[in-house]
Structure 1
Amino acid sequence: GENVEQRPSTLSVQVGDSSVINCTYSDSASTYFPWYKQELGKGPRLIIDIRSNADKRKDGRMTVLLNKAAKYFSLHITDTQPGDSALYFCAAGAHCFPGTCYPY
């Protein structure tokens, strides 16, 4: 099965600085890599994702980098704001169709 590890477990960042969260995964067949953000008292929501046919995706202040050879992907947030304070989750999955993704 898939094993996904996230580092660091806790990150403290000054407002205006950049944030980086790293993830490694074990299954080279994985093709879909979403990031979720969970704010206090709310459920997790998808904020950005990348598929294995890309190595970089940018959306506003967020960028995802994917290195398939190293089974590694990372979330970068520039100009960190107080509203970015939350729990972040990475996932990796092998099955993805429009509107139907099964992350591990």
Structure 2
Amino acid sequence: MAQTVTQSQPEMSVQEAETTTLDCTYDTKDSNYYLFWYKQTPSGQMILIIRQGAYKQENATENRFSVNFQKAAKSLSLKISDSQLGDAAVYFCALMENTVRQATGRG
């Protein structure tokens, strides 16, 4: 099943204590999926920041991070409040489809 995830924002400069928003759009034919925001630190470590399920009614929040999930528009924005030096990283939006497929075997 084809899926796409697009982030079009260039590198951003943000002052400490400011709030910033990163945008992501996606496309999937699946109706049951999860969206994730990860950050890659300068050392190369990938850290999961926040997860949003397709059927979750409220927007996910985690400490200073929150998302604005627009299912109809197929978009997921990440808001970082009270920016800190440790937030300097490369951010990735990811999509995981959750379709369950059953295999049939012969006894």
- Runs of 4+ aligned structure 1 residues displaced above 6 Å come to none
Q: Which runs of 5+ in 2 are unaligned?
A: 101-107
Residue 23 of structure 1: CA displacement? 0.3
Match of 1:39 among 38, 41, 44: 41
TM-score (norm 1): 0.84
Match of 1:73 among 63, 76, 99: 76
Q: Which runs of 5+ in 1 are unaligned?
A: 98-104
TM-score (norm 2): 0.82
- The alignment's C-alpha RMSD in Å is 1.7
Residue 28 of structure 1: CA displacement? 4.3
Tell me, yes or no, if the aligned pair for 1:67 and 1:73 is still in contact at 8 Å. Answer: yes
Of stretches 29-38 and 76-85 in structure 1, the one that deviates more from structure 2 is 29-38
Q: Which amino acid aligns with 1:6?
A: Q
Residue 9 of structure 1: CA displacement? 2.6
Task: For 2:5 and 2:48, locate their aligned partners in 1 and report how far apart those are by CA, in whole Å.
Answer: 17
Which structure would you say has the larger Rg? 2
- What corresponds to 1:64 in structure 2? 67
Q: Following superposition of structure 1 onto structure 2, how do residues 1-104 of structure 1 map, counting pairs within 5 Å?
A: 1-29=2-30, 31-54=33-56, 55-95=58-98
